[in-house]
Amino acid sequence: MAILSVNVNKIATLRNSRGGDVPNLIKVAIDLERFGAQGITIHPRPDERHIRYQDARDLKKVVQTELNIEGNPIESFIKLVDEVQPAQVTLVPDGPDALTSNAGWDTIKHQDFLTKMVNHFKDQGIRTSIFVDPVIEMIEGAARTGVDRIELYTEDFARMYPKDKDKAIAPYLKAVTRATELGLGINAGHDLSLENIKFFKEQIPDLIEVSIGHALISESIYLGLENVVNMYKAKLA
């Protein structure tokens, strides 16, 4: 069974949109674990437009499963991870103006930098993962950094899945085969959803962990709507 780590960025986005503390991010994380989540993922960005750096500190105090912090290892991010000491850090090459992650690392071009970052975090006992596209050369480059795991960027799979699921999964199968040969653990994330996650897991039995945020929160809004509407009706009766 692959571990489900829930990305709570969207909860923070909703909270920040009104400037208050509703929904309360910490309570949501606690409830998600109570509901069965096996990890909590956050992806703070320098402008703190959703997850704030203080959220990472607060979550560290309450998360009972695994806290995974994703992000571009700029100086402020490195300092945050050093302070919080999550179970896992996932290195993602997104720029400060990126709306969301849109590509994996070029692990050849940035190999020296990534190796330095991997060593820095592993020396503190933090499991490390590198966000990569399903490209053999990038998988091999990641392995040379000494990283523990890779996180496969799955947007291409999700986009192609409704049209041709076998074609969609093909490059990921090749990537996972090579990664396994190199001793890398396999994580995955980005646009995985209730529609496509079962097929992805069936095709990649060595999958260790998925990190899902946008789709899971969006699906929760719809699937929970009937209950919430009736709760409001009861209070307004």
Name the active-site residue from 43, 50, 151, 209: 43
Q: pTM for the whole thing?
A: 0.91
Across 39-53, average pLDDT: 94
Name the active-site residue from 33, 50, 151, 190: 190
For residue 217, give its domain range.
3-236
Q: Is 163 exposed, middle or buried (0-12, 13-18, 19+ CB in 10 A)?
A: exposed
pLDDT attached to residue 35: 85
Q: Which residues contact 115 (CB under 8 A, 6 or more apart)?
A: 144, 145, 146
Question: Helix 111-122 vs helix 75-84: angle between axes, to the nearest 10 degrees?
Answer: 20
* 190 given a catalytic annotation: yes
Cis before residue 23, ω within 30 degrees of 0?
Answer: yes
pLDDT tens digits for range 64-117: 999 999 999 999 999 999 999 999 999 999 865 655 566 899 999 999 999 999
Name the active-site residue from 33, 66, 70, 209: 70
Report the CATH number that the domain containing residue 85 is assigned in CATH: 3.20.20.70
pLDDT tens digits for range 105-135: 999 999 999 999 999 999 999 999 999 999 9
Beta-carbon neighbour count of residue 94 at 10 Å? 17
CA distance 110 to 122: 18
Residue type, 16: N
pLDDT tens digits for range 174-221: 999 999 999 999 999 999 998 899 999 999 999 999 999 898 888 888
Total domains in the chain come to 1
CA distances from 119 to 43, 89, 143, 168, 190 (A): 21, 12, 13, 34, 26
pLDDT attached to residue 1: 83
φ, ψ (nearest 5 deg) of residue 189: -175, 155
